[in-house]
Amino acid sequence: MLKKFIKGLVDNICDTFVSFKNELLKLNPFIPIFITGSIIRIFFTLRANFPLNDGGMFYKMTQELMDNSFRLPMFTSYNHSNIPFAYPPLGFYAAGITSRVFNISLINVFRFLPLIITILTIPAFYIYAKELFPKKLAIISAFIFSVIPRSFMWLIMGGGITRSFGLLFSLLTLYFAKKYFREHSKKYLFYTVIFAALTTSSHLEWFFFTCYSLLFINIHIAKGTKLLKKIIPIIIGTFLLTLPWWLTVLNRFGVGPYMNFLKAGSVYKDIKTYPHLLTLSFTDEPFLTIFGTLGLLGLMLSTVINGFILIVWFLTPLLIAPRSSPNLIVIPLTFSAAFAIYQLSLITKTKELKRQQRSKKTQKLRLLVFKTITAYLAIYTITSTIFLSELSNNSYFDSITNDEVEAMNWVKANTDPSSKFLLITDNLKWGMDTVSEWFPAISNRESITTPQGQEWISNNEFYYKVSLNNNLKLCYTKGIGCIEKIMYEYTKFDYVFIYRCNDRIQLNDIANLIRNELSRSEKHELVFENKDTQIFKIL
């Protein structure tokens, strides 16, 4: 009797669970999309024991903010540069307060807080998409956004402590602005202003994206003076809420740091910076650029059907923020790719209605083919995104190793605070050089080749560091004579911090020549060595 009762109870629980799951999925197909996108983002974060890629300068700035009792310091001492503390500070406050309140190490905050905020961008994107498009199109858009690499890979990095908040609050600003423009409610105006202020306090480039997106997306609802009357309260409210920060920075530095920042971005305003428009590589899909291709198709279809709004929205970041344009493009690109898929599905339905004479067997076969293709695309995008981390030329998901951290801590404890270091790393792109960015933050010593943060300084230091960094990479196949020439032409340094290749054959070790020459040189002394690094002192 008891056995029968337990069996019946278990069966009822199972039936209830299955029924609940089916109803849930029927009511909200977004749930499996959210789970898929979350798993992908968690997967990349958990592969490393340290924040992914960049964030070293932000880590140092957060430390200084905490040490200053959460009052904005005048400068950050990152890389001994006295960089104006003019960066939007909300991410630093969020990281510092999280570390203090929950007693979590700041390194772990930089590792996991960007992940959490990046996951939250998925539902934020979905509710905004639902406000713009029919539910089916919103679902397609949400799926593409959840798996396309550009929607998360720069956000889950250590530097995502600012970028992730910028995207999240930008999406919420645009969502409430859309409702405000449609329903003329003061409640939605209030929410729009709140999230616009949070966006401004998080990330400047996402602030610019939000500004022009407000115009492009709402221009068909209100035109001319009506559009202006609706946008002015948002501008005034945002300005007033962010006034304490603006006044503090402007009182200290004027507009100089921001003009320097914009000027540094002009380094990328070059025809050579836009090849991804032709190769469709701006989505960073590792194999076939399916969504890049669909995105361009969607732009063409949207231009024919709805006018130029979507394509202008897509192209604007290339003009005002070329360095970050692939990150800003991801929103209109996702919508345009989804629009292409949606239009193709409508064409299929129209043809089906015109062919009512088709047999049920043929219709079932076509449906099976459609589901198979859909399943293939879903599996392909998910697996290709995961394989993205295994590609040899991909450094987006790199992080510094425990041995590199050990070497940096040794530098902090055993060298003079005024010591200068030449870093020879295994990454040929300064913007993706994990060791180069984290070295000044952990060791508290100066890296002569690290450009990060220099774009806020007025003496062209950014261009100088980029040039020095690029010239150093050319030395990898020329030996220490080339390095000594750099020492005379650019600046002197006291130590060489060089990575070690652990491959037995060392076929991919581009700095092998320099390491061997340093080991044999009488002008250099090996002072530290572990599995991943060697440090040589200049005698």
Instruction: Write the pLDDT tens digit of every residue in 358-392.
Output: 556 555 665 666 567 667 666 776 676 666 655 54
75-79, 225-229, 307-311, 465-469, range with the lowest pLDDT: 225-229
**Whether 329 and 193 share a structural domain:** yes
Q: What letter represents residue 66's amino acid?
A: M
Domain boundary among 345, 379, 394: 345
Domain boundary among 311, 327, 345: 345
Q: Is the dihedral of CA 302, 304, 309, 312 positive or negative?
A: positive
521 vs 1, higher pLDDT: 521
Answer whether residue 240 is part of any domain: yes
Q: What is the mean pLDDT of the chain?
A: 81
Answer whether residue 76 is part of any domain: yes
Q: Is the dihedral of CA 485, 490, 492, 497 positive or negative?
A: negative
What is the span of the domain harbouring residue 454?
Answer: 402-538
Task: Write the Ramachandran bin of 69: left for phi over 0, alpha for psi from -120 to 50, otherwise beta.
Answer: left
Question: Measured between alpha carbons, how far is 126 from 135 in angstroms, rounded to an integer?
Answer: 10
**Whether 320 and 462 share a structural domain:** no
Show Cβ contacts of residue 181 under 8 Å, excluding neighbours closer than 6 positions.
218, 221, 222, 230
Instruction: Report how far apart, in Å, the C-alpha atoms of 510 and of each of 10, 392, 499 are.
Output: 62, 14, 10
| Tokens 């929607």 found at | 151
| Tokens 């009511």 found at | 27
**Whether 169 and 69 share a structural domain:** yes
Answer whether residue 200 is part of any domain: yes
**Whether 134 and 52 share a structural domain:** yes
Show Cβ contacts of residue 94 under 8 Å, excluding neighbours closer than 6 positions.
113, 161, 165
Answer whether residue 33 is part of any domain: no
Residue 7 has a pLDDT of 55
Q: How confident is the model at residue 271 (pLDDT cuts 50, 70, 90)?
A: very low
Predicted TM-score (pTM) of the model is 0.85
**Whether 341 and 407 share a structural domain:** no
DSSP 3-state of 77: coil
The arithmetic mean of pLDDT across residues 300-315, rounded, is: 81
**Whether 334 and 422 share a structural domain:** no
Residue 106 has a pLDDT of 96
Containing H/E element for 84?
strand 83-84
> Which residues are paired to 84 by β-bridges?
75
94-98, 242-246, 371-375, 523-527, range with the lowest pLDDT: 371-375
Domain boundary among 309, 327, 345: 345
**Whether 324 and 444 share a structural domain:** no
**Whether 252 and 319 share a structural domain:** yes
**Whether 336 and 434 share a structural domain:** no
Query: For residues 59 and 441, is the Cβ–Cβ distance under 8 A?
Result: yes
Residue 95 has a pLDDT of 97
Answer whether residue 379 is part of any domain: no
Answer whether residue 10 is part of any domain: no
Show Cβ contacts of residue 221 under 8 Å, excluding neighbours closer than 6 positions.
181, 182
Number of domains into which the chain is organized? 2
**Whether 303 and 448 share a structural domain:** no
Query: For residues 117 and 98, is the Cβ–Cβ distance under 8 A?
Result: no
Q: Best-predicted range by mean pLDDT among 186-190, 377-381, 397-401?
A: 186-190
**Burial call 491-512: b when 16+ CB within 10 Å, e when fewer:** eebbbbbbbbbeeeeeeebbbe
Answer whether residue 3 is part of any domain: no
pLDDT at 200 over 80: yes
16-25, 292-301, 398-407, 463-472, range with the lowest pLDDT: 16-25
Pairing status of strand 533-538 against strand 446-447: unpaired
The arithmetic mean of pLDDT across residues 154-164, rounded, is: 94
Tell which residue, 176, 171, 197, has the closest CA to residue 90: 197
15-24, 224-233, 420-429, range with the lowest pLDDT: 15-24
210 vs 366, higher pLDDT: 210
**Whether 298 and 447 share a structural domain:** no
Length of the chain: 539
First-to-last alpha carbon distance for the chain, in angstroms, is 88
DSSP 3-state of 300: helix
pLDDT at 112 over 90: yes
Q: Is the dihedral of CA 366, 370, 373, 375 positive or negative?
A: negative
**Whether 326 and 455 share a structural domain:** no
Answer whether residue 29 is part of any domain: no
Query: For residues 421 and 445, is the Cβ–Cβ distance under 8 A?
Result: yes
Number of H helices, E strands in the chain: 22, 7
Task: Write the Ramachandran bin of 300: left for phi over 0, alpha for psi from -120 to 50, otherwise beta.
Answer: alpha
